[in-house]
Structure 1
Amino acid sequence: MAYQVLARKWRPRTFAQLVGQEHVIRALANAFASERLHHAYLLTGTRGVGKTTIARIMAKALNCETGITSDPCGVCSACTQIDAGRFVDLLEIDAASNTGIDNIREVLDNAQYAPTAGRFKVYIIDEVHMLSKSAFNAMLKTLEEPPGHVKFILATTDPQKVPITVLSRCLQFSLRQMTPQQVSGHLNNVLNAEQIQFEPGALPLLGHAANGSMRDALSLLDQAIAYGAGQVEEAGVRAMLGAVDQSYLFELLNALIARDGAALMAAADAIAGRGLSYEAALHELAHLLHQIAVAQTVPGALADDLPQRTNILAVAQALAPEDTQLFYQIALHGRRDLPLAPDEYAGFTMTLLRMLAFAPAANSHIDALGAPAARAPATAPVPTAPTEAAAPAEPTVVEEAPQRAYVPTIPVQMHTPEEAAPLVAAPAPAPAEPTPPWLEEEPANRVFDGDWRTLLGRLKLGRASMLAQHAELTGHDGDSYTLRVADEHKMVATRDYQESLREALEGYFGRPIQLKVNVDASTADTPAAQAAREREQKQRDAEAQIQNDGFVQTLVRDFGASILPDSIKPV
């Protein structure tokens, strides 16, 4: 007997065998069990989710010799002939090939005659949205009031192209894409039934590659079995799909966490050495970062059967949540821009370098292709005047060590040896350079008047701006500040952001500051909310100004002009 591909061999024969469409199965099964039958059904969904399969099961449920049932027997003459595609009263029409009005008229002329062998004449019209406008118009009346022995089952991947007059005459069911877990679970059952050896780690790869289509998943499984010479191995499936071994992804993330550019490039080169797809690597990296974000935010939602669950949890603890979100966005944009890169390797490595360059780095300097620079102690003093007598032999630039942000810094200028000697020999009470303007505007001992938004405008916030703008000041007492952040913005209220904001406040006031941040259900008077209200008011004022403008009113009145509100922008 000739080999039958898995997608055909394992096509469901009953409602109970369908996977992932419980909402549709329940409605149809109840309708057939109670014989509450509609004359026209519309099944919508992407390819491979079961539209035609459900239509054929419905045809069996209508014509099974045991009677109208939600559980056709599968062994009677009607059921076996429908499964074999030979039932005389079941007509399947491919609308993509029969788009014209003549094809539809032929169907409608035949519909008036009673069924030959079955209880109902069933017309399955696949990709119905491909019919021409005249063909749709020709079938409207019959679709609305067909003979009692006729049932229409329409299927389409693009319901937006089906006229509303047709949609209103049908009972519509929207089929969902299947989740990777549902797909891999079904593949597991298929392989066990077929007695084919497989590695469990290979099935999630096939489940994700199928993109919600069970038919695609079974076709990929057929390919994987052939690739593995009769068995399904994880390494073989990865090579077949061009996917990246998860271990390399964790090497990339570990290098990013360590800010180690050399290790990052080495991990990228290792992927090239295995001849794997960089586009697939970015796809897998984004998927892994999503799992890490889930582990950080909702740990209980992470599946227990993930092959790399332990490694994911470890990275989730080591990587800051804001870094995870940033890396995820960079991976998505890098994958989108990959066709524009000189080659895949350049596009992939540039995406990794973006992650390295743009990752938040509080109080540290990062060498883009090396290890982090050494960090000075947090309490390192600021050099106010040179104290050594020896002058440098070459022109040099003196760099100040990292320090607590609230200590004022003094610019340092390059000096030649001749200029440097007198500076070293005679310590000056005042710096040679003028005080920075932001220190001259107000006295060093500043006093907060309670205007949080105005204060933020004077601070050097950097990455702390995200927390500050979405925080509402609920209280302040001397050098102690209490903020409230809405739950939807809690991702910017982490310890790193709080520390950055505290250091910005200390840098402005010139003294230690205590900062407390509470997360609440909602906030009302944050600087971001105030700015949004001001923008909305400016927009309303601009629209009112345009509406009341005499020249505009003349254009509207005399020439029938119309104003597009979306085109009005406040200056």
Structure 2
Amino acid sequence: MTYQVLARKWRPKKFADLVGQEHVVKALVNALDKGRLHHAYMLTGTRGVGKTTIARILAKSLNCLHAEHGEPCNQCDSCRQIDAGRFVDVLEIDAASNTGIDNIREVLENAQYAPTMGRYKVYIIDEVHMLSKSAFNAMLKTLEEPPEHVKFILATTDPQKVPITVLSRCLQFVLRNLNSTQVHDHLVYVLQQEQIAYEDAALLLLGRAAAGSMRDALSLLDQAIAIGSGKVTESDVRNMIGAVDKSYLYALLEALAARDGQALLSKAEEMDSCAVGFDSALTELALLLQRLSILQSVPAAIGTNEPEYEALTRFASLFSGEQIQLYYQCALRGKADLPLAPDEKAGFVMTLLRMLAFAPLAAMSAQRLHGQIDGTQLQEVPVSNNQAAFKPSVIEQTMPASVSVSQSEEVPQTDAVPPTLAELETDIEPTPAMAVGSTTENISPSIMHAPQSVVVGDELPPPWESSGDDMSHELVSNLVAPESMHTEEAGEHKEISAREQDEYGDTLIPAQIDATEIITAKDNFPPLTAENWPEILSLLAHRLGAVQLFSQHTAIAAYDESNGDLTIALAEQGEPTANRELLNRLAETLSEVYARPIRLHTCSWHGQNALETPQMRQQRLHTEQQQQAQSILEAQPAVQMLMETFNASWVPESLRLHKE
């Protein structure tokens, strides 16, 4: 008996055998069971997901003599002949080979005649998008109103090429790609029925390599059985599909943990000599990093019985969560940049060196926040001059307010868990101070001369109202800091008390501290007037978050200081981004900084021509500056001469007024 390939031998014969297309199966079975049949069906999806298979099963169900609840019996003459391709009332057409109008005209002429053996004439047109425009036009009328005994089943991998007039006349089903787990489970079933030995890891590799296609997976399985002489092993499958040996990936992670650049380069050379695909290597490395992140975040998601569990656990303990996320992004970026590299090896090596270059910063962050790695207590990590000049500048100009920890201040100890890097940096928003080239000239003296201080908190006097020494004194007098931030002085371990976040998560307030100890911000904010509104929003920018999307298009229409009723007019540009939640947030923020309840009301912009939003004000100032710059230039004799000589005119967008 001749050998039949697995993809054909294990092709489903009924709806219950289909894998991963439950949404299509349920609709078709219910329609068959209730007799609610459409005259035309369109099945779309990528290769090997079951389009033609579903079409054949549907054709059998329509003509089966003993169909039960929509399922064909596969025993009657009709079912057997349809499976064998000999049933005269089921015509399967390959549109890729029969694209012309003559082929379709022949089908349409025969459609008017009653079926010979079955209940329905079923026309299965595969790859229907290949038909010519004239062929589509010829079948439109018949497709819309076919005879009662005719059913059309169209299948295509590219529905965008099918005319919308055809799509609108069909009941369309989109078949999904299968995930690797579904493919793996079906391959296990097939191999058990075939009584072929296999390794589970090999089937997982085949499931990923199939890219959602069950037919491709079965074809790869046939190839793996041939290579393995009747068995399926992980090593054979890896060599067959070009997957990377996990030992290479483990060695790369070991070198990254040890920050050993020489070991990284040596391993890359070894992979190159073994003809390892570097594109596949980066893909496998990203998958491994993803599993490490899952193990750190949700340990129960990785079963202890998995073969890689011990290795994953060990590597998860060597890296912080921040490092794993960073390396994952490096791997993805390196894979995307690989076609742009001089060659694949160079791109792969540069990706590894990028990981190595960022490793010290990631490790330093983990050491500062967590205090230990592998159970070893760490001392304070020294900061280079460039970092010392950069970090305080960022904190001073981006945090909503500031207080510092004095070396002489007594701090209560706590057993609170140290916060993560993401928790500490929730409030920080990018500012011009973070640009490359920031120098110590941008840093106030109080921060420059207090390297032991931690600058975080909720109330910062405006820099134009305080000198450096006054600011330092003001900061030291108010103790607010993130939980479990450590300082070392004279062998004494100090720990800063905890903070809590407000309901919006972007305003940090002190925990367990008397309200009278917090300096109110009312005196630092201008009165609530239409003229001061742009300045008020600018001062609150770091606390408003998404509120800024519409607040820049608002203006104060009225404010009753006696009862705290504030009415703002909302311009048309801000309406799409305004909602009740953000308005409530703006009202709460204003109530907090002005230390009194403020109720916010809105009104239409119509009739408010005298008002000006911050966006309008910015545009007006920009226009005035352009006009002023133009006036200054036009007053210059040399410019006047050039304009007269060349009949020149100004380009307004190019004018900038720079004031010393």
Whether TM-score is above 0.5 comes out as yes
Amino acid at match of 1:52: T
Cα distance, 1:130–1:304 mapped onto 2, change above 3 Å: farther
Q: What is the alpha-carbon distance in structure 2 between the residues aligned to residue 448 and residue 122 of structure 1?
A: 74
Partner of 1:391: none
Contact kept in structure 1, 2:457 and 2:481, CA below 8 Å: no
Displacement of 1:218: 0.5
Cα distance, 1:201–1:344 mapped onto 2, change above 3 Å: same
Partner of 2:282: 282
Contact kept in structure 2, 1:101 and 1:138, CA below 8 Å: yes
Partner of 1:378: 380
Question: What SS does structure 2 have at the residue aligned with 1:201?
Answer: helix
Q: What is the alpha-carbon distance in structure 2 between the residues aligned to residue 107 and residue 64 of structure 1?
A: 23
The equivalences for 1:89-488 within 5 A come to: 89-302=89-302, 306-359=306-359, 360-361=361-362, 363=364, 377-378=379-380, 437-438=441-442, 444=449, 450-451=458-459, 478-481=478-481
Cα distance, 1:542–1:15 mapped onto 2, change above 3 Å: farther
Cα distance, 1:521–1:111 mapped onto 2, change above 3 Å: farther
Question: What SS does structure 2 have at the residue aligned with 1:211?
Answer: coil
Displacement of 1:278: 1.7
Question: What SS does structure 1 have at the residue aligned with 2:114?
Answer: coil
Amino acid at match of 1:481: A
Q: Deviations over 1:417-444 (max 9, x none)?
A: xxxxxxxxxxxxxxxxxx9535665585
Question: What SS does structure 2 have at the residue aligned with 1:481?
Answer: coil
Q: What is the alpha-carbon distance in structure 2 between the residues aligned to residue 448 and residue 74 of structure 1?
A: 74
Partner of 1:514: 496
Q: What is the alpha-carbon distance in structure 2 between the residues aligned to residue 180 and residue 119 of structure 1?
A: 39
Partner of 2:649: none
Displacement of 1:234: 0.7
Partner of 2:416: none
- Structure 1: segments with no counterpart, 5+ residues: 365-374, 383-398, 409-434, 456-475, 484-497, 507-511, 550-567
Contact kept in structure 1, 2:457 and 2:480, CA below 8 Å: no
Cα distance, 1:304–1:8 mapped onto 2, change above 3 Å: farther
Q: What is the alpha-carbon distance in structure 1 between the residues aligned to residue 106 and residue 617 of structure 2?
A: 58
Q: What is the alpha-carbon distance in structure 1 between the residues aligned to residue 543 and residue 386 of structure 2?
A: 38
Q: What is the alpha-carbon distance in structure 2 between the residues aligned to residue 64 and residue 543 of structure 1?
A: 76
Amino acid at match of 2:496: Q
Question: What SS does structure 1 have at the residue aligned with 2:270?
Answer: helix
Q: What is the alpha-carbon distance in structure 2 between the residues aligned to residue 453 and residue 180 of structure 1?
A: 58
Q: What is the alpha-carbon distance in structure 2 between the residues aligned to residue 208 and residue 160 of structure 1?
A: 27
Amino acid at match of 1:339: P
Of the three residues 493, 498, 523, the one matched with 2:505 is 523
Q: Deviations over 1:289-309 (max 9, x none)?
A: 222222233334446664313
Contact kept in structure 2, 1:378 and 1:402, CA below 8 Å: no
Q: What is the alpha-carbon distance in structure 1 between the residues aligned to residue 252 and residue 150 of structure 2?
A: 61
Amino acid at match of 1:244: V
Cα distance, 1:307–1:19 mapped onto 2, change above 3 Å: farther
Question: What SS does structure 1 have at the residue aligned with 2:137?
Answer: helix
Greater relative CO (CA pairs within 8 A, separation 6+): 1
Q: What is the alpha-carbon distance in structure 2 between the residues aligned to residue 400 and residue 437 of structure 1?
A: 13
Partner of 1:23: 23
Displacement of 1:449: 9.0
Q: Deviations over 1:183-240 (max 9, x none)?
A: 1111111111112121222110100000010000001011111111221111111111
Cα distance, 1:340–1:154 mapped onto 2, change above 3 Å: same
Amino acid at match of 1:33: D
Question: What SS does structure 2 have at the residue aligned with 1:173?
Answer: strand
State the identity as a percent.
56
Q: What is the alpha-carbon distance in structure 2 between the residues aligned to residue 128 and residue 379 of structure 1?
A: 66
Q: What is the alpha-carbon distance in structure 2 between the residues aligned to residue 246 and residue 240 of structure 1?
A: 15
Amino acid at match of 1:221: L
Q: What is the alpha-carbon distance in structure 1 between the residues aligned to residue 311 and residue 156 of structure 2?
A: 42
Amino acid at match of 1:334: G
Compute the TM-score of the two structures, normalised by the length of structure 2.
Answer: 0.61
Question: What SS does structure 1 have at the residue aligned with 2:88?
Answer: coil
Between 129-138 and 399-408, report the one with greater CA deviation: 399-408
Displacement of 1:265: 2.5
Displacement of 1:531: 6.3
Q: What is the alpha-carbon distance in structure 1 between the residues aligned to residue 13 and residue 381 of structure 2?
A: 74
Contact kept in structure 2, 1:124 and 1:152, CA below 8 Å: yes
Partner of 1:87: 87
Amino acid at match of 1:13: K
Q: What is the alpha-carbon distance in structure 1 between the residues aligned to residue 457 and residue 286 of structure 2?
A: 46
Q: What is the alpha-carbon distance in structure 2 between the residues aligned to residue 58 and residue 8 of structure 1?
A: 18
Q: What is the alpha-carbon distance in structure 1 between the residues aligned to residue 617 and residue 155 of structure 2?
A: 47
Q: What is the alpha-carbon distance in structure 2 between the residues aligned to residue 334 and residue 401 of structure 1?
A: 28
Question: What SS does structure 2 have at the residue aligned with 1:92?
Answer: strand
Contact kept in structure 2, 1:61 and 1:72, CA below 8 Å: yes
Contact kept in structure 2, 1:45 and 1:157, CA below 8 Å: yes
Displacement of 1:345: 2.0
Q: What is the alpha-carbon distance in structure 2 between the residues aligned to residue 185 and residue 302 of structure 1?
A: 18
Question: What SS does structure 1 have at the residue aligned with 2:124?
Answer: strand
Q: What is the alpha-carbon distance in structure 2 between the residues aligned to residue 250 and residue 239 of structure 1?
A: 18
Contact kept in structure 1, 2:456 and 2:480, CA below 8 Å: no
Q: What is the alpha-carbon distance in structure 2 between the residues aligned to residue 188 and residue 144 of structure 1?
A: 44
Contact kept in structure 2, 1:32 and 1:68, CA below 8 Å: no
Displacement of 1:338: 1.9
Contact kept in structure 1, 2:123 and 2:152, CA below 8 Å: yes
Displacement of 1:335: 1.7
Displacement of 1:47: 0.8
Q: How many residues align?
A: 456
Amino acid at match of 1:345: K
Cα distance, 1:234–1:528 mapped onto 2, change above 3 Å: farther
